[in-house]
């Protein structure tokens, strides 16, 4: 058997050992090969006695949880990726359990072959990560751990939460469903007794959190992808809008090179400007993104969004003109 195939089969085994369900199409994309090749690899694993099975509910393959095989040796790129997460990314992004991540990285690093370890040290020395506008999260580990336990055990939590815009505290019982990192902040999504619907709550605004001695039945209908739908970021508003923007030539290329939304389409004009269109659920979140480009963007549609931008811009001018008179 060729070395490349052996390596791929071991990678397939490693993927299955994670406990996740993988469809053949998932494995095919993951390893850049055909579905037919993946089927052959699975047959090879079966012949060697690896106890995996096909799950009809998830339409994927999964390995028996009690089966264990030591992980394959990490190549330099795999090692750098893992150590980069622990040594660099965790320092700049609000990852929970940073100390645990660092200890795990040190364990991995100490067992690497000397050549791979030297490669990693040299690579990490020449890689930096800079993330701006981080929210403070002094109690992130404690709150994150408590919410994660509540999600895994289907436990209701009681929460005192600060609403920044209203500048007041609310109290609600929450059935937590999902934790999500978005726009430099961790959120918990769950069914709020106060709002009678699924809502996102920033962990940095949770003032008190108590796990109740009450369980809830897991909502099988809740799906994070369906919930987010076509929201610009993470708060759907229940109405779809066709948003059409013109970015001036100074910023057109840099904006167009980023995939801001799954529905994004781009076309360039003769003057170097770019027409970028989206179909989004709600306008509140995209409004502030548009404003961040100042006078380098024009709102072509819808009219209601253009009016919002005009009003905010006029109020900004008014507020600053008042200061100039003082």
For the chain, domain boundaries: 3-63, 76-125, 140-228, 240-321
Instruction: Determine the 3-state secondary structure of 194 from DSSP.
Output: coil
Fold of 140-228: SH3 type barrels. (2.30.30)
Give the end-to-end CA distance of the chain in Å, rounded to a whole number.
81
C-alpha to C-alpha distance for 82 and 96, rounded to whole angstroms: 16
Angle at 48 between CA 45 and CA 54, to 5 degrees: 40
Confidence (pTM): 0.66
16 CA to centre of own chain: 22
Q: CATH classification of 240-321, choosing from 3.30.710, 3.30.70, 3.40.50, 2.60.120? A: 3.30.70
Answer yes or no: are the C-beta atoms of 293 and 245 closer than 8 Å: no
pLDDT at 187: 93
- ω into 206 cis (within 30 of 0): no
C-alpha to C-alpha distance for 46 and 38, rounded to whole angstroms: 12
C-alpha to C-alpha distance for 188 and 157, rounded to whole angstroms: 11
CATH number of this structure's domain 3-63? 1.10.10.10
Answer yes or no: are the C-beta atoms of 281 and 245 closer than 8 Å: no
Give Dmax over CA atoms of the chain in angstroms. 83
Q: pLDDT for 60-116, tens place per residue?
A: 888 776 665 555 567 888 888 877 777 666 666 667 777 777 677 777 777 788 888
C-alpha to C-alpha distance for 93 and 147, rounded to whole angstroms: 19
pLDDT at 56: 81
DSSP string, 118-178: HHHHHHHHT------SPPP-TTHHHHHHHHHHHHHHTEEEEEEEEETTTTEEEEEEEEEEE
Identify the burial level of 161 via C-beta atoms within 10 angstroms of its C-beta, where 0-12 means exposed, 13-18 middle and 19 or more buried. buried
Find, among 53, 54, 50, 41, the residue nearest to 11 by Cα. 41
Per-residue pLDDT tens, the chain, 326 aa: give them. 555 677 778 778 777 776 678 888 888 888 888 888 888 888 888 887 788 888 887 788 887 766 655 555 678 888 888 777 776 666 666 677 777 776 777 777 777 888 888 888 888 888 877 766 555 555 678 899 999 999 999 999 999 999 988 899 999 999 999 999 887 788 999 999 999 999 999 999 999 999 999 999 988 888 888 888 899 998 899 899 999 999 999 999 999 999 999 999 999 999 999 999 999 999 999 999 999 999 999 999 999 999 999 999 999 999 988 887 66
Answer yes or no: are the C-beta atoms of 134 and 184 closer than 8 Å: yes
C-alpha to C-alpha distance for 285 and 9, rounded to whole angstroms: 44
Instruction: Determine the 3-state secondary structure of 65 from DSSP.
Output: coil
Any idea what DSSP says for residue 261?
S
Find, among 75, 74, 73, 77, the residue nearest to 123 by Cα. 77
pLDDT at 153: 94
């Amino acid at each position: 058997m060729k070395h490349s195939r052996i390596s791929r089969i071991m990678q397939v085994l490693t993927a299955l050992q994670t406990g996740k369900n993988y469809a053949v199409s998932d494995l095919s994309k993951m390893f850049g090969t055909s579905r037919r090749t993946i089927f052959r690899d699975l047959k090879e694993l079966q012949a060697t006695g690896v106890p995996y099975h096909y799950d009809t509910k998830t339409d994927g393959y999964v390995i028996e949880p009690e089966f264990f095989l030591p992980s394959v040796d990490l190549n330099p790129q795999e090692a750098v990726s893992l150590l980069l997460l622990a040594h660099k990314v965790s320092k700049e992004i609000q990852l929970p359990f940073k100390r645990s991540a660092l200890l795990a990285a040190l364990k991995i690093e100490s067992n690497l072959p000397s050549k791979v370890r030297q490669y990693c040290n040299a690579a990490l020395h020449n890689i930096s990560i800079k993330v701006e506008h981080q929210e403070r999260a002094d109690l992130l580990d404690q709150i994150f751990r408590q919410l994660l336990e509540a999600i895994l055990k289907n436990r209701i939590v009681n929460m005192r939460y600060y609403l920044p815009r209203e500048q007041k505290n609310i109290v609600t019982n929450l059935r937590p469903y999902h934790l999500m990192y978005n726009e430099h902040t961790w959120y918990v999504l769950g069914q709020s007794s106060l709002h009678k619907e699924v809502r996102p709550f920033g962990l940095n605004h949770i003032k008190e959190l108590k796990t109740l001695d009450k369980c809830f039945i897991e909502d099988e209908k809740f799906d994070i992808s369906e919930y987010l739908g076509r929201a610009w970021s993470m708060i759907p508003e229940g109405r779809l809008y066709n948003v059409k923007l013109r970015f001036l030539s100074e910023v057109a290329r840099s904006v167009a090179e980023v995939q801001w939304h799954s529905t994004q389409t781009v076309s360039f004009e003769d003057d170097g400007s770019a027409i970028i269109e989206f179909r989004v659920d709600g306008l509140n979140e995209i409004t502030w993104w548009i404003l961040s480009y100042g006078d380098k963007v024009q709102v072509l549609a819808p009219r209601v969004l253009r009016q919002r931008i005009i009003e905010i811009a006029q109020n900004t001018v008014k507020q600053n003109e008042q200061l100039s008179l003082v």
